[in-house]
Amino acid sequence: MEATGAQWKGDIRKAFSALSSSHEGLSHSEAKTRAMHFGPNAVADKASQGWLAILFSQFQSPLLLILVAATFISAFLGDLFDTLMILACIIGAVILGFFQEYKSEKALAALRKYFTYRAVVLRDKQKEQLDSRQLVPGDIVFLGAGDIVPADMRIIESEGLAINESVLTGESREVMKDASSVPTGSSPQEIKNGCFMGTTVVAGSAKCLVVSIGGSTFFGKTASLFSARVPESDFHSKVRTFGDMVFKLVLAMALFVFLVNYFLGHGDKNPLSDSILFALALAVGIAPEALPAIITISLTSGSMYLAKKKVITKKLVAIEDLGNMDVLCTDKTGTLTDESIKFERFVDLDNNDSHDVLEYAFLCNAAVGNVYVKGNPIDVAIRKGGIAKKIDVSRFAKQQIIPFDFVRRRMSQVVMEGEKRYLVVKGAPESVISACTRLRMNGKETPISRNISVIKRMISGYNREGFTTIAVAYREVPAKAKYSASDENSMVFLGFVLLSNPPKATVKATIERLESLGVSLKIVSGDDSLVTAKLCSDIGLKITGGEVATGAMLSRLKPKELLRAVEKYNVFARVTPDQKLRIVESLRQSGHVVGFMGDGINDAPALRTADVGISVDSASDVAKEASHIILLDKNLDVIADGVEEGRKIFGNITKYILYTMSANNGNMITVALSSFFLPFIPMLPSQILLNNLLSDI
């Protein structure tokens, strides 16, 4: 189904009517019927090749083109036997290469099916998590921060929804979206009440109506105009350079052999044709022309091996880089620690459980749902904690959300209670403190400056115990049409929400195994330095450089100083997404092959820039899209398995090159030199080519 202008314009009821849907969504039976009519919600996969493309790719080998030239030369000179013999060698080489690559392509296609994006959909009036390929026009979908928009959708309702549409528009800035906006045109930039396939949710949440799917979306129409090109890896670049060098050497040798044999008059029938064919066959006989196929087969075999361990390789060449990796940078939460953050306590500044703190933290929250709660891990933990405590916030009406960002490190929510309006702020303690002028302690409000040392001692104490500390503040605000981050001032500090996130059971063993393989670990976290240091103590990771490097410290460093800092320190805390990216870039600039493991929106830039981006299946859609490798299981030991497999593949390819080059050079150079002293060509071109083909088989 394709979107029309009418589906974006006018009352949402018109869009529901046009799509035969409602606020309650579709039934499973209706969705099944529509799926049969519209097909899957998918855009043609440009990464996979059809059999015809694989077949034609066999003729891109320079050495095979030499054989084709030899066939024409032999046919032109009237040598039927040699023509047929060379042609048979060409057909044999093409068939062998085609079936090897076709089998590898099928195996990779099967692996790609394991990796899917999921969407929260309303079916039969119940929220369900479904494969996004199952969406149909008329479905109701719920979006949250970190999601990749699965289809073109009309917004029904939203809270602080910010979308990055750079995949469609090329503009990287966030675009605010809401249901009440009126389209000013027909392009994505002009439709502010719609979300489009492939774009990413940076902040906020929304309930949306699916308008178009698959190839009918803006993304689908655009994607069909381009063919994907996989970037060349460092290993492939070196292989190509090696191939170019060999190609030039064998051509030079072939030219020399041809000239010598021609002027010596060697050949049974025609010295010119025999010398040309002998020289060309010799060139083909020396070169390791099966190397591309060997690389593809080895990497595919490695992918299948890792798939058995529930590791999906999105980018095949990442296995090579995984084997070469010598530094693994990793986020803390959700990667080294358990997937879920646990809600522990809600305390005021008297260290007592506080209903007000929990209530305001529950209100200032971007997570959605009651049974299935969706959102960032911290908001999900707080929402689940409030639900478990049976908190009742029905007397409040949410008015406007000011989304979290990694510069402010806090979010705000405007709520109404009767005729009063309150601005509630929740975020990193130091960020919330900076917006406060007063605090509530012993039931009284006093200037925050008098007790700032008390607050800092409490934060340090909680952090040393390993708690992630979230601060909560509020103030009454006057009525206005729109609130912004500039209203986050003169707040009253209330207290803290305490969260825990213990390390995974396998982390310590994995770190030891990686170190034995020569891979050093660096923790790059947005959490507090004391919390991060406590985790290091728990997993047995020694902090180098004498301290935890903080984001504030890194922000003062010049580029050359940062290069030294990333070598000196192995634990970084309170870093921004941009600083994570700079750390990865600096390590790569220093000559390291860098892996980065993360699962959040803030990890995406670093994941995309690293030589190997690693994420988990439960990560945000944005993180998974930026990654090269996805862990379906939470067992981190498979990363070490991947390093070993990558090194094994590299070793096998190196062995093939050494074996083939030494054997071919020995045989062909002997034949070439003997031809200078014998009155005849010592080995017929057809014999050389047949020997070469049988060796490859």
Give the integer Cα–Cα distance in Å for 294 and 288.
10
Give catalytic residues, as residue numbers: 331
Residues whose CB is less than 8 angstroms from the CB of residue 259 and which lie 6 or more positions away in sequence, other chains included = none
Residue 403, phi then psi, degrees to nearest 5? -60, 155
Whose CA is closest to 154, among 311, 363, 371, 6? 6
Give the whole-angstrom CA distance, residue 617 versus residue 306: 15
Contacts of 287 (CB under 8 A, 6+ apart): 63, 246, 247, 250, 664
Closest CA to 498 of 523, 532, 461: 461
Residues 6+ apart with CB under 8 A from 27: 123, 124
Exposed / middle / buried, residue 86 (Cβ in 10 Å: 0-12, 13-18, 19+): buried
CB 140 within 8 A of CB 121: yes
Evaluate whether 535 touches 468 at the Cβ level (below 8 Å): no
CA nearest to 574, candidates 608, 619, 523: 523
- Indicate the helix (H) or strand (E) that contains 74: helix 62-76
- Cα separation of 453 and 349, whole Å? 12
In terms of Cα–Cα distance, which of 547, 569, 432, 418 is closest to 488?
432
Residues near 596 by beta carbon (within 8 Å), at least 6 away in sequence: 328, 329, 330, 524, 580, 584, 603, 606, 607, 609, 610, 612, 613, 614
| β-bridge partners, 400 | 414
Name the pairing type of β-strands 520-524 and 571-573.
parallel
SS3 399: strand
**Distances 588 to 11, 38, 567, 613, 639 between C-alpha atoms, Å:** 52, 46, 11, 13, 20
**Cα 201–171–624 angle (5° rounding)?**
40
Structure tokens at 413: 């929510």
